[in-house]
Amino acid sequence: MDKQQLAGTVFWVILLLAGAAPFYFKDRGRRRNRAGRCARCAAHLPWDDRFRVEGLLLCPTCAQRTRSRVGVAAVVMVALGLLSSLFGIVAAVSLRVEGDPSWWLALLILGGCGLGLILLTFFAIWRMKADNTLGSASERAMTLIRLLGFDKTRSERNKPFGGGA
């Protein structure tokens, strides 16, 4: 059972790292968005030419790149999950043939990893969509504030007084 256990552990470590990485990049992206910059390349975002991907604002170039990257990542994740499940079945069958009593463990670990990867992919896509809905809502609120001129109040008050008299 050594090889299978090792494979399972490696799988979960990769899975955990893959799960934690987006949180770091997302935080950095949010900081850039607040400064009016693209979440990925930090270029200045034009007000009328910006795209919302994964709940973050991106310039047109980065948006196109990220969209195709997300699609490829989802396909790779699902393929990896299916491959892991398949590998688990093959490993379990071969262990069973060899008479190893722990054959079901290989099926459990690798099949579980595979299923976990597929579920994680769907969860990530679902969360992305939820983020976008939430992001658009706050964006609309900001646009409304701008339209009503609330954001100008402070800067106009700070202008030097003059011209009137």
CB-nearer residue toward Zn ion: 100 or 131: 131
Measured between alpha carbons, how far is 77 from 47 in angstroms, rounded to an integer?
A: 35
- Give start and end residues of each alpha helix (H) in the chain: 2-34, 60-98, 103-148, 150-158
Q: Taking contact as CB under 5 A, which single stretch among the options 15-23, 25-33, 35-43, 71-79 is the one that binds Zn ion?
A: 35-43
> Which token pair is 15?
């899975």
Site map for Zn ion, 54-93, x if CB under 5 A? -----x--x-------------------------------
CB-nearer residue toward Zn ion: 29 or 111: 29
Distance of CA 60 to the CA centre of its chain: 18
Is residue 35 part of the contact set for Zn ion (CB under 5 A)? no
CB-nearer residue toward Zn ion: 39 or 95: 39
Q: Inter-axis angle of helices 2-34 and 103-148, to 10 degrees? A: 0
- Footprint of Zn ion (CB under 5 A): 38, 40-41, 59, 62
